[in-house]
Amino acid sequence: MPFITANDGTELYWREWGSGAPMLFISAMGCGSSMWDYQFAEFGEGGMRCISLDRRGHGRSDQPPRGYDFDTFAADLATFIEQRDLNEITLVSHSMGSGDIVRYLTRHGSKRVARIILLAPTTPMLLKTEDNPGGMPREQFEALWALWRRDYPSWVESALPPFFVPETSPAMMRWGTTILQASVPVALACSRALVEADFRAEMRRIDVPAMIVHGERDRSVALEVGGLPSAELIPDCRLKIYPGAPHGLLYTHMEQLHADMWDFMRRQAVTE
């Protein structure tokens, strides 16, 4: 199985499908690289080289006792990109993965990146503060973490229906639980890092074309918290809002999303 070694010795698993220009997919918190199976099938068969790295503590990667912060996640990405000598990359993220991309670009540069696509991003800042009144109260996160420490499976079961849409098949929803591939301690550590992060200043420095796709019915990260302010901060950004779409729009609105991603990549390729 393919692994790369991070700067601190952590072994990170990665996989790929297809050949062509690279698309590097960055997973949501708690999810392994298998969450991108449908995108691997679509873009891998369409002439792209689809690659995904299991974040430390996720999937088949090692679970070290430390390193669950965005500086380290970005460093892991940089190590992988350099070791595989990837260039002209389309970086694609879902949810928390948006923070990995932003931190990678601002700490390690964009010379290897052609464009970014952020799906249901958690950027720029989740926590409610005096200068971020649209965020969510810390008490809400503390209550969530307390539940995870008591009964993580019950939270997963309750979070599953709003992640999808009522028309989603029971089989697809059951499959959705299999993409969660991180322990409770790792999920807690990642969630705390996510809540404390403030990417507002960094996002103004992004110098590659960007597309953000966010669902109007996202119950995990509201459009007003994620997609809208993120699009306002990134200088060259296209925002797509999907009416009725939930956080799991990469499954529930798959055909529309894939068409929009192809369109964005082709338009950018023409202008380069």
- Structural domain boundaries, residue 248: 3-271
pLDDT band at 141 (very low <50, low <70, confident <90, very high): very high
**Is position 220 annotated as part of the catalytic site?**
no
Q: Which of 58, 94, 247, 253 is the catalytic position?
A: 247
- Residue 139: its pLDDT value, please? 97
Q: At CA 82, angle to CA 78 and CA 87, rounded to 5?
A: 100
Q: Which of 52, 61, 95, 230 is the catalytic position?
A: 95
Instruction: Say whether pLDDT at 272 is over 80.
Output: no
- In tens, the pLDDT along 61-115 reads 999 999 999 999 999 999 999 999 999 999 999 999 999 999 999 999 999 999 9
CATH number where 172 lies = 3.40.50.1820
- In tens, the pLDDT along 168-226 reads 999 999 999 999 999 999 999 999 999 999 999 999 999 999 999 999 999 999 999 99
**Is position 218 annotated as part of the catalytic site?**
yes
Q: Which of 54, 62, 100, 218 is the catalytic position?
A: 218
- Residue 267: its pLDDT value, please? 85
**Rg of the chain, C-alpha, whole Å:** 17
- Residue 269: its pLDDT value, please? 67
- Residue 155: its pLDDT value, please? 96
- Residue 271: its pLDDT value, please? 62
Q: Which of 101, 99, 109 is nearest to 196 (CA)?
A: 99
Mean of the per-residue pLDDT values of the chain: 96
**Is position 34 annotated as part of the catalytic site?**
no
How many percent of the chain have pLDDT more than 90? 97
Q: What domain count does the chain have? A: 1
Backbone φ and ψ of 138, nearest 5°: -60, -35
